[in-house]
Amino acid sequence: MSILRSIAGPIAAACALAAAGSALAQDKPPAREALKVCQDPNNLPFSNTNGQGIENRIAEVFGKALGLPVTYYSFPQRLAFIRNTLRYKLPGQDYPCDIVMGVPVGFDQVSVTKPYYRSTYAIVFPAGRGLDGVKTSEDLLRLDPAVLRKLRIGVYDRSPASEWLNRHGLVDSGVPYPILSPDPQQYPGEIIERDLAAGKIDAAIVWGPIAGFFARRVQTPALSVVPMKSEPGVKFDFEMAMGVRYGEPEWKAQVEKLIETQRPAIVAILQEFGVPLVDESFAGPRR
């Protein structure tokens, strides 16, 4: 592919998106008949087709506040999720969904709202297997080197967890898991619910909501969750927001108002699911 062709496509797409956004901004949107949510059908603790996830519960809170039924359009997040959900539109038809309930702040494929929570990666390990004294990531690093080298620590590849292992000379202790799987039945908590619980690994370092939810769901063995603090070169904590289409400022403002007015209910749901919630003061120094 030539350089000209490689950049022409993105430029054309950006121009088309800008034009579409301008048209949307000029036309008054029709009255909403439902809160139409874009979701992954098998992505607990965030969402699933049974409405059991964090984002499902928050969507129901929003729907009630708006006086609207909640509907879902499902597509796996493994590839081109936004293109196949929020931006997907057949000629003569409406968009199948209007909001993504969970995106990181700074995600540029959508118009990102104000954040509604901040969480961090966490290390999860079973009680009574030699790691009970670990209360911080520094405690883990202070373990006897002979013990540390023998640990099997499950991490998703290309994640802050894998970078952290690399920075601290623990690559050989890492057990990598693919961050994207072609298997539609695969879900992010398998690393805890299946392999950690069965003793195939000694610990797992995963995104906080996944850690908290699946650690609570596993009854035996009892699992501990230790939030990890960002450090120079490795960012563990992230703010999460919601996403709408570009060119829909009124809808975005309405969603942001819901985030504010429904904040007590949102926090209660996050706590119910065991999400480790941190504030800016928890973030360590970065460079």
List average pLDDT for each run of 10 residues in the chain, which is 287 residues long: 32 39 51 95 96 98 98 92 96 96 97 98 94 94 92 95 95 91 84 95 97 94 96 96 97 98 98 94 55
DSSP character for 115?
A: -
Strand pairing partners for 205? 123, 155
| Structural domains of the chain, with CATH | 32-116+237-282 (3.40.190.10), 119-227 (3.40.190.10)
Dig out the tokens for 140 from the structure.
């883990």
Q: Quote the pTM value.
A: 0.86
Tokens 């597509």 belong to: 75
From the number of C-beta atoms within 10 Å of its C-beta (0-12, 13-18, 19+), residue 115 rates as: middle
The per-residue pLDDT for range 223-244, each reduced to its tens digit, is 999 999 999 999 999 999 999 9
Helix (H) / strand (E) element for 138: namely helix 137-141
